[in-house]
Each structure stands twice: as structure tokens, then as C-alpha cells.
């Protein structure tokens, strides 16, 4: 068997492994998570968010409710509220959005909001001024527990992910792995990152270490 044939076989095996271990990549736009206290303040006492569309993560949904985010230099309008309610409110934006608002916003994992900037949320004549909770979400892969062993990853691990696209394939570094029985396996990136890799719906990635 000549060297070229061997190389081709190796390439085929590697490609098969990558396909088996690949996962959906989703682009996540700016959005808001609210506590029930802040839902009540913005929409009325005991208000229930209206489900518009379920998301890929089990139990998570985009609601019909929209808010304006107001910063020192600008505003972002018609920002979707995601449900269900959380214990603490959090607003996730991109780096480009941060420039529009006029704020220096840290990259953080979801839920890590200590010492992050505050932001004003507006619904008509009702407002809530968050003391903290504005973040740029750290790029991450939700991994279902059943998939973690197959993918050879553990919760909290930092990995590199290669995304194949027609024109801008690239490798994202500093991707955090989040493992849970409550997750469906999928990677989340924001719109700035999506533009960098010529994102298209259905695009997939795989871990390279």
C-alpha cells in the first residue's frame, strides 16, 4: 500500500471521527434574562412571559416580550426576553453592542455577574435599573452529560473549536465546556463571532485540543 493511499485512509478516519463528534453551532443575538421581580416591575404584578418560540436548550424559550436597553451613549431597541425567569437578571450583548451603548463590558460566563456594569431596561413608561448584570457571554459549548465522554471533555474545561464554513473556517480558542443533564449539546457564539466565521444556520463545529 503506497503512502498516498495510507494518507487518504487516515484523512477519511479523521473526518469520520470529527463528524461523529461534531455539534451544532448557534449564533445567539443580544437578549435579556429577567428575575420574576423584574418581570413584575416591567410588565405588571405576577406577569407571565408569553412563549414565542422554544430554543434548542430544553425548557428555554424566546418570549414575545421585548425591551429597550439604555446606556450612556445609545440604546438597543426591541431586545428579546428569554424565559423561564431566573434568580437574577442578566443582559447578554456583543462587543459591537457595547460600543453602541458606550460601556466597557466584560466577557463572562452566564451567571457570573459580580462586579459587572449595570444597565437600564425600559418598557414604555416602566423602567428597571440593574445595578449589575451586563455581560458579553464567553463562547461556550453546552454538552449533554451523555455526550461528554464521547467528546472527551469535562465541565469547566477550556478547549478550541474548529468551525468549517465555505469562506471563513476558523478555530475559536478559549471556549468553555459546560456539562449538564439539562443541556442539549450545542455551541453558542454571539453575532460578532458568527460574522467572523461566515455563520450559516446548521453550521457545525468540533473540538481540537
Domain count, the chain: 2
d(CA 67, CA 81): 7
Tell how far CA 148 is from the center of its chain. Answer: 19
A 10 A CB-CB count for 139 gives 19
Q: From first to last of its 209 residues, what are the pLDDT tens digits of the chain?
A: 566 554 444 344 444 445 567 999 999 999 999 999 999 999 999 999 999 999 999 999 999 999 999 999 999 999 999 999 999 999 999 999 999 999 999 999 999 999 999 999 999 999 999 999 999 999 999 999 999 998 999 999 999 999 988 889 999 999 999 999 999 999 999 999 999 999 999 999 999 87
* Containing structural domain, residue 188: 20-26+139-208
Q: The whole model's pTM is what?
A: 0.88
Statement to judge: residues 53 and 97 lie in one domain: yes
Same domain, 122 and 145: no
Q: Are residues 83 and 152 in the same domain?
A: no
Residues 122 and 144 in one domain: no
Rounded to whole angstroms, the Cα distance separating 143 from 149 reads: 10
Q: Within this chain, do residues 176 and 120 fall inside the same structural domain, yes or no?
A: no
Last residue of a domain, one of 114, 137, 160: 137
Are 205 and 161 in contact by the 8 Å Cβ rule? The answer is: yes
The CATH number covering residue 160 comes to: 2.40.40.20
Q: Is-contact 141 161, C-beta < 8 A?
A: yes
Amino acid at each position: 500500500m503506497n503512502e498516498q493511499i495510507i494518507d487518504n485512509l487516515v484523512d477519511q478516519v479523521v473526518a469520520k471521527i470529527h463528524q461523529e463528534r461534531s455539534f451544532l453551532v448557534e449564533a445567539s443575538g443580544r437578549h435579556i434574562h429577567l428575575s420574576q421581580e423584574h418581570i413584575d416591575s416591567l410588565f405588571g404584578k405576577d406577569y407571565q412571559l408569553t412563549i414565542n418560540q422554544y430554543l434548542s436548550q430544553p425548557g428555554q424559550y424566546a418570549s414575545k416580550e421585548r425591551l429597550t436597553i439604555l446606556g450612556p451613549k445609545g440604546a438597543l431597541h426591541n431586545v428579546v426576553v428569554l424565559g423561564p425567569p431566573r434568580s437574577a437578571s442578566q443582559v447578554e450583548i456583543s462587543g459591537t453592542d457595547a460600543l453602541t451603548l458606550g460601556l466597557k463590558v466584560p466577557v463572562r460566563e452566564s451567571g457570573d455577574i459580580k462586579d459587572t456594569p449595570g444597565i437600564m431596561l425600559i418598557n414604555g413608561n416602566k423602567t428597571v435599573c440593574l445595578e449589575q448584570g451586563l455581560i458579553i457571554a464567553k463562547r461556550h459549548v453546552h454538552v449533554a452529560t451523555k455526550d461528554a465522554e464521547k467528546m472527551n471533555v469535562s465541565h469547566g474545561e477550556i478547549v478550541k473549536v474548529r468551525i468549517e464554513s465555505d469562506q471563513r473556517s476558523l478555530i475559536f480558542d478559549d471556549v468553555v465546556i459546560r456539562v449538564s443533564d439539562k443541556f442539549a449539546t450545542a455551541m453558542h457564539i454571539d453575532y460578532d463571532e458568527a460574522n467572523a466565521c461566515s455563520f450559516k444556520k446548521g453550521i457545525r463545529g468540533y473540538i481540537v485540543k
